[in-house]
Chains A and B, each alone.
Chain A
Amino acid sequence: MSEFAVDLPVVWFTLRVAALAVLLLAPFGLALALLLARRRFPGKALLETLVSLPLVLPPVATGLLLLKFLGRRGPGGRAARTLFGMDVVFTWKAVVVAMMVMSLPLLVRTARVAFEEVNPRLEAVARTLGASEARVLSTVTFPLASRGIAAGLLLAFARALGEFGATILVAGNIPGRTTTIATAIYNDVQTGLDGRAYGLLAVSAALAFGAIFLSEVWLKRRTNA
């Protein structure tokens, strides 16, 4: 077996893009979770299904859809070229997008439960005390759902760290530019660099373990209304 080693630049890159993905995903994902938790509207079941799709579709299938959309000939890719003069596929930006899409269901589902567990009575009373909708959200809803939201964000981060199928299609595996922990392991295995693969496997396992463990702890200690 080749020498055990840990490719730190790859680990560092993966952490950065995963963090960025979660950061960009959060506002949209939390808004969606709030909407699904609080409102009834025609087509809600359809929206719920769409949001859950990346969880169930084979990641490469999602990756294929993203590739078609973000490629130079796709609507997303062309828009990026005309508006910003940049390519998305085969760059770190595509990695971020792939991670965002694959993590969305986990964030929305976890945060939704957190929002649903906030006693609507508390929000109603807050309104009678003169709070605007924004104030109700920021002083009652979000603080009470905070543990569940944090758990959701952490799960989304963990999922992003491990993302492979969609990433490899839409961002490729370009050393130094789009290689993540997962794609690096794949590459190292293929080229016989098992030692490096095991090194990354160890890091990956440690990160995943830590994230899930923390998330579970937070979920158990949710504030109850």
Chain B
Amino acid sequence: MKEILVLVFAAASLTDALKEIAASWEIAGGERIVFNFAASSLLARQIREGAPADVFLSADEAQMDGLERAGLVVPGTRRSVLSNTLVAVVPKDSALRIASARDLAGPGVERLALAEPTSVPAGVYSKKFFERVGIWDALAPKVVPTENARATLAAVESGNVDAGIVYRTDAAISKHVRIAFEIPAAMGPAISYPFALVKGAPRETEARRFLAYLGSPAARAVFVRYGFLVKD
């Protein structure tokens, strides 16, 4: 009998939490889950080009909106359960003293890594925040755009940039960065992770089941443990 796989396209920031959730799902008898982790903008693009994804877990509403407008989301399956906060991180051995966003504009920070601010959710959120605080113009020349939030993390870990903006959940799993300051949810943009079933999903029944599982108390507990905020 051919093994059934559910193909899940998910934002990079969900990597570790999802892997754990999928493992428990499979142990409990669920179908095998195969993940494609990348920036939500890239994933949305791939789905638009016909990638055979069953489920899309996006890091921002805009990407999901785009797919919905293109008729690629199964109506009634879209739910936004998770949220996150942004943090500024520096390499663990950095001597820089950064306590607030304004410090990022200072001369000590030559390079600031962000996920691509025009398309990748983590970068879009960061830019919105900096615009709101009024320092985006000062920061823009220092920005080194990266592929996604995890790439930002890697850039900071390598020491090739002075600081980076990532999700709090990303900072939590890294041993080579430390958090310089956190952008409180109230001050930052509203981060929201919409989940939905992709229209024409090859394995619709199984995908629906997994999607439902993602909203279960067991899955939520895992998300919370990794630092995500659960909306209710």
Spell out A's residues near B (CB within 8 Å): 67, 71-73, 77, 87, 89-90, 172-175, 187, 189-192
Contacts and interface: CB of A to CB of B under 8 A. Distances in A.
5 contacts: A73-B159, A90-B144, A174-B144, A190-B41, A191-B119
Contacts of B159: 71-73
Interface of B: 39, 41-42, 45, 110-111, 116, 118-119, 143-146, 158-161
Contacts of A89: 160
B118 A90 contact: no
Given A190-B45, A191-B41, A172 B144 contact: yes
Q: For chain A, what secondary structure do more than half of its interface residues adopt (helix, strand, loop), or is it mixed?
A: loop
A-B pairs, 3 with minimum CB distance: A191-B119, A71-B160, A73-B159
B148 to A, nearest CB: 10
Query: Which of B42, B145, B161 is the most central at the interface, judged by chain A CB atoms within 10 Å of its CB?
Result: B145
B45 A172 contact: no
Nearest to B146: A172
B145 A192 contact: no
Given A90-B111, A172-B145, A174-B144, A192 B160 contact: no
A174 B45 contact: no
Nearest to A68: B158
A174 B145 contact: yes
A191 B145 contact: no
Given A174-B144, A174-B145, A187 B116 contact: yes
A1 to B, nearest CB: 12
A180 to B, nearest CB: 14
A87 B41 CA distance: 30
Given A190-B42, A192-B119, 9 more contacts: A67-B160, A71-B160, A173-B116, A173-B145, A174-B143, A189-B45, A190-B41, A190-B116, A191-B119
